[in-house]
Amino acid sequence: MPAVGRVATRRTAGHGAAGHVALTFDDGPDPASTPDFLAALDALGVRATFFVLGSMLERSPDLGRELVRRGHEVGVHGWHHRRPLYPRPGRDLAELRAAAAAVTEVCGVRPRWYRPPYGVLSSGLAAAAHRLGLRTVLWTACGRDWTAHASPDSVYRSLRPGLRGGATVLLHDSDCTSAPGSWRSALGALPALADRCAALGLALGPLRDHGLAA
C-alpha cells in the first residue's frame, strides 16, 4: 500500500547485497490470488518473502504452510492492516506478538522480518518488533500495483528504475487492502521483472539471501 508517512532509514529500507534483489509480497495469504503467484514463481524458478497478515493466515492456514513448502520465506505484516494514527503500544505489541506466533505455529518457521502496514513504523511498532526479535524491512522499489489503474506494464515500469543490486521490491499477492483485482497487475509483471534482473546479472530471491544483518 502507499508509503504515506513512511520513514525509511538506511537500515530499515532493505538495502541488501550488491548482486541480489529481494522480492517481497504483502497482504496475503489469499486463496483468491496467492496460488497464482506460487505457480508463477515456480515457473520462473524464483523464491520470495511473503509478509503475511495474521488475520489472513488464520483464514487460510494451508496456504501459509504451502508458502513454506514451496521454499518461500514468511515474514510478519501485522495482524490487521491498520494505519497507526496514534500510539497504542500495548495493542501494538499484543497484535504483533499474535501475528508472529501465528506464523510460527501455522507455518512451522519462526519469522525474522517485519514490515508494518503502509510502511509506517510508529515508535510503538518499532519497539514491539524489536522486543519480538523481528528485523523491520521496508522496501526500496514498489510497483504501485495497488491501484485500479495499474497494469502489468505500469507495475514493471514503476519498478524498473529501482532495479539494481541491493534493491528490495514490494508487490502485493492479495487485494484485501487494494483495488479489487489489482493483484493481477503484480502477477503479470513478474516475468518482466525476472527477465530484467537476469539481464542485469542480479539474483532475485527472498530476504534471507539479501545479506541483511540481524
Catalytically active residues, by annotation: 26, 172
Residue with Cβ nearer Zn ion (54 or 117): 117
Half-sphere exposure of 31 (CA within 13 A, CB side): 7
Q: Does 175 bind Zn ion (CB under 5 A)?
A: no
Minimum CB separation of residue 195 from Zn ion in Å reads 26
The set of cell numbers assigned to 177 is 487492502
Minimum CB separation of residue 51 from Zn ion in Å reads 7
Minimum CB separation of residue 28 from Zn ion in Å reads 10
Residue with Cβ nearer Zn ion (116 or 152): 116
Minimum CB separation of residue 174 from Zn ion in Å reads 9
Q: Does 173 bind Zn ion (CB under 5 A)?
A: no
The set of cell numbers assigned to 65 is 504452510
Residue with Cβ nearer Zn ion (142 or 190): 142
| # chain residues binding Zn ion, by CB under 5 A | 4
Minimum CB separation of residue 12 from Zn ion in Å reads 16
Residue with Cβ nearer Zn ion (33 or 197): 33
CB 177 within 8 A of CB 33: no
Dihedrals phi, psi of 22, to nearest 5 degrees: -85, 135
Dihedrals phi, psi of 162, to nearest 5 degrees: -95, 0
Beta strand 49-53 pairing with 203-205: unpaired
Write out the binding residues for Zn ion, residues 19-48 only, by CB under 5 A. 26-27
Q: Does 1 bind Zn ion (CB under 5 A)?
A: yes
Closest residue to Zn ion: CB criterion? 26
CB 146 within 8 A of CB 172: yes
Residue with Cβ nearer Zn ion (46 or 178): 178
Whole-number Å distance between alpha carbons of 82 and 74: 19
Q: What is the 3-state secondary structure (H, E, C) of 5-26?
A: CCCCCHHHHCCCCCCEEEEEEE
Write out the binding residues for Zn ion, residues 88-147 only, by CB under 5 A. 117
Whole-number Å distance between alpha carbons of 96 and 129: 7
Helices (H), 60-182: 61-69, 89-102, 123-131, 152-159
- Chain residues that interact with Zn ion, rule: CB under 5 A: 1, 26-27, 117
